[in-house]
């Protein structure tokens, strides 16, 4: 099958899927076209999923890779409190996997797209000796209301959604990791008036340090407050990547609920005046041992 | 060097570079934030550059790869008549190339970014066994004024900028191909009131057929009118990829100049009522032999 036919097929699939009203042209031109609504900011992120780094063909089906590729980027929208709008998907696959693999990848991706109401608007398709995908997601937020990493202030409380160490433990057990982007929760938290937020892609210790660095504050957390996943160790909860839960801060007067829908929310510590980027756990400095591609 | 330090360095470089006024937050958060201007459409594209497909480490320096990665995506903005706004860059490199390679890649990319006034707003950085990059570009166009592939009408004239076969000939000669995105020309043509446009990334025969397919028209071109690059063959001019010139159509009453700046523009044929997607050259059907990743 030729590239043009494969793209035509993806285009047909994408048309049957959700289409955001501001997306006035999707697949089929040199660029997708968006007509932004007044009074809104647009947020943008892109994330790789690479064979033998983020998945293997042994542990993930083509559909699961498509799901994961989109879910990873959606998680960044969730961390801004954004509503998904559209995505661009760049995909490269080995010739031997061919059109069947591409079709299944997109079927998986579009299942997630449909679930989170995001339009597939374009991208790139190439041949390569390994499977690689890069997904760019665009979301929208009422003007000036994005949840920033830099908005944490001393005295605020630190919260985390869900359980920590889930993905690290699944990885150890050889199970595929399919992130669940916390889109609804992010929007709910933004409406609630929380301050800073980040998604936990590289582990609590590293991502909390990043949030503190951006806000020029330090953090004090307590190990006994951490919502550790069943069977996971404290180390997996602190340093394990790919949990894709939301970490956020809120002023004491904000009434943060104990759950959003079925997703529990747990207070784990306080933002403090202190050396920027430093995290103390039970009074001792916590090393950032989260995932680092170049460490 | 750790990933965080590498990103901090890119962030510093990007801050010194051009920053579009609508980009209110660049590198450093989960997402970049854009505050769109009223009365404008935004256009989006993404393109891979992959080691041993679009370049080799023998023919392209790290800086040249960065330049090429951005230039390829910019060319799609040019084909819409768009003004560049910002880009997201996803880059993966082998560990052995490390931070030095990443620094040089971004130096090359930012040189092009500066030249075309586009802001580096974010992206992703990962380790992989080959060098791969995916660049997403966002541009802006006055509302409803984007140059579409689907806007060609029977009776319009077909034009092409620059020379054809330049890249194919350079490739045969083992020289690096550094595309020059026709941003200024695209904007000038849009203001002039031309109709349909596409950039020549995969060869005239394939890209003209694509434009015709989207517009549901056919095309009639003449071989003696083609602006063939010096030393290039007719085959290279017709089917060679990566020229990144603009192919466009305009109604007969539009006064298309013979050059925009120093870039020559040549009329090569007419849009016709006929089987959609078919291109006739000198009266005979022209096969689409342009670059196809999956052919």
Which CATH number characterizes residue A9's domain? 3.30.1330.10
Query: A88 CB near a chain B CB, below 8 Å?
Result: yes
Q: Is the pLDDT of residue B294 over 70?
A: no
Of A49-58, A191-200, B167-176, least confident by mean pLDDT is: B167-176
> Are residue B153 and residue B103 in the same domain, yes or no?
no
**Domain end marker among A102, A125, A142:** A142
Residue A193 is part of a domain; what is its CATH number?
A: 3.90.650.10
Q: Which two tokens stand for residue A50?
A: 């690479």
Residue A48 β-bridge partners: A134
Backbone angles phi, psi at B31, to 5 degrees: -140, 155
pLDDT digits (tens, 9 = 90+) for A14-36: 888 878 889 999 999 999 999 99
Query: A214 CB near a chain B CB, below 8 Å?
Result: yes
Q: Is residue A164 part of a domain?
A: yes
Backbone angles phi, psi at B115, to 5 degrees: -60, -35
pLDDT tier at B2, thresholds 50, 70, 90 = confident
CA B137 to CA B73: how far, in whole Å? 6
Q: Is residue A290 part of a domain?
A: no
Q: Are A8 and A106 in contact (CB under 8 A)?
A: no
Sign of CA dihedral A266, A269, A272, A278: negative
If one counts the domains in chain B, the total is 2
pLDDT of residue A39: 94
CA B83 to CA B294: how far, in whole Å? 32
> Are residue B133 and residue B163 in the same domain, yes or no?
no
> Are residue B19 and residue B123 in the same domain, yes or no?
yes
| Torsion, CA B88, CA B85, CA B62, CA A52, rounded to 10 | 10
A268: domain range? 149-285
Contact B44 A92 (CB under 8 A): no
Considering CB atoms only, which of A32, A45, A295 is closest to B31?
Answer: A45
> Are residue A207 and residue A261 in the same domain, yes or no?
yes
Q: Is the pLDDT of residue B295 over 80?
A: no
**Domain end marker among A142, A169, A190:** A142
> Are residue A130 and residue A154 in the same domain, yes or no?
no
Q: Which two tokens stand for residue A220?
A: 């004090």
Contact B136 A44 (CB under 8 A): yes
Q: How far is CA B234 from the centre of its chain?
A: 22
Query: B29 CB near a chain A CB, below 8 Å?
Result: yes
Q: Is residue A292 part of a domain?
A: no
Q: Is residue A37 part of a domain?
A: yes
Interface of B with A in 265-284 (CB under 8 A): none
Q: Is residue A250 part of a domain?
A: yes
Q: Is residue A293 part of a domain?
A: no
Query: A294 CB near a chain B CB, below 8 Å?
Result: yes
The owner of tokens 């802006």 is B140
Q: Is the pLDDT of residue B98 over 90?
A: no
> Are residue A93 and residue A175 in the same domain, yes or no?
no
> Are residue B58 and residue B93 in the same domain, yes or no?
yes
**Domain end marker among A142, A168, A190:** A142
> Are residue B33 and residue B87 in the same domain, yes or no?
yes
E strand residue ranges, B83-221 = 83-93, 119-127, 132-142, 157-161, 197-199, 218-221
Q: Is the pLDDT of residue B90 over 90?
A: yes
Sign of CA dihedral A135, B9, B43, B65: negative
Residue range B175-186: mean pLDDT, rounded: 89
Q: Is residue B294 part of a domain?
A: no
pLDDT digits (tens, 9 = 90+) for B21-63: 899 999 999 999 999 999 999 999 999 999 999 899 998 999 9
| Torsion, CA A76, CA B54, CA B84, CA B145, rounded to 10 | -100
> Are residue B158 and residue B279 in the same domain, yes or no?
yes
The owner of tokens 């995932």 is A291
> Are residue A102 and residue A9 in the same domain, yes or no?
yes
> Are residue B35 and residue B107 in the same domain, yes or no?
yes
Looking at chain B, the number of H-run helices and the number of E-run strands are 7, 14
pTM of the model: 0.95
> Are residue A136 and residue A7 in the same domain, yes or no?
yes
Q: Is residue B116 part of a domain?
A: yes
Percent of chain B exceeding pLDDT 90 equals 82
pLDDT of residue B20: 84
């Amino acid at each position: 099958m030729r590239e043009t036919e494969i793209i035509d097929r993806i285009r047909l699939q994408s048309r049957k899927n959700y289409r955001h009203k501001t997306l006035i042209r999707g697949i089929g031109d040199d660029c997708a076209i968006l007509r932004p609504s007044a009074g809104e900011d647009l947020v943008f992120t892109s994330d790789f999923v690479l064979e033998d780094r983020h998945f293997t063909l042994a542990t993930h089906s083509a559909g699961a890779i498509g799901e994961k590729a989109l879910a990873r980027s959606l998680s960044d929208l969730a961390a801004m409190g954004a509503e998904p709008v559209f995505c661009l998907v760049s995909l490269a696959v080995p010739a031997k996997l061919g059109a069947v693999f591409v079709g299944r990848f997109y079927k998986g991706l579009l299942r997630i797209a449909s679930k989170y109401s995001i339009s597939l608007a374009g991208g790139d398709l190439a041949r390569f000796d390994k499977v690689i995908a890069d997904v760019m997601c665009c979301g929208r937020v009422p003007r000036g209301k994005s949840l920033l990493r830099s908005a944490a202030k001393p005295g605020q409380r630190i919260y985390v959604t869900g359980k920590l160490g889930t993905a690290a433990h699944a990885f150890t057990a050889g199970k595929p990791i399919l992130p669940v982007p916390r889109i609804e929760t992010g929007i709910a938290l933004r409406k609630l008036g929380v301050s800073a937020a980040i998604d936990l892609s590289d582990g609590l210790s590293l991502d909390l340090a990043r949030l503190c660095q951006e806000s020029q504050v330090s953090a004090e957390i307590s190990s006994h407050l951490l919502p550790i996943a069943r069977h996971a160790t404290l180390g997996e909860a602190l340093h394990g990547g790919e949990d894709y839960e939301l970490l956020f801060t809120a002023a004491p007067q904000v009434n943060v609920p104990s759950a959003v829908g079925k997703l529990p929310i747990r207070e784990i510590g306080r933002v403090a005046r202190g050396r920027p980027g430093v995290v103390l756990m039970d009074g001792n400095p916590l090393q950032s041992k989260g995932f680092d591609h170049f460490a």
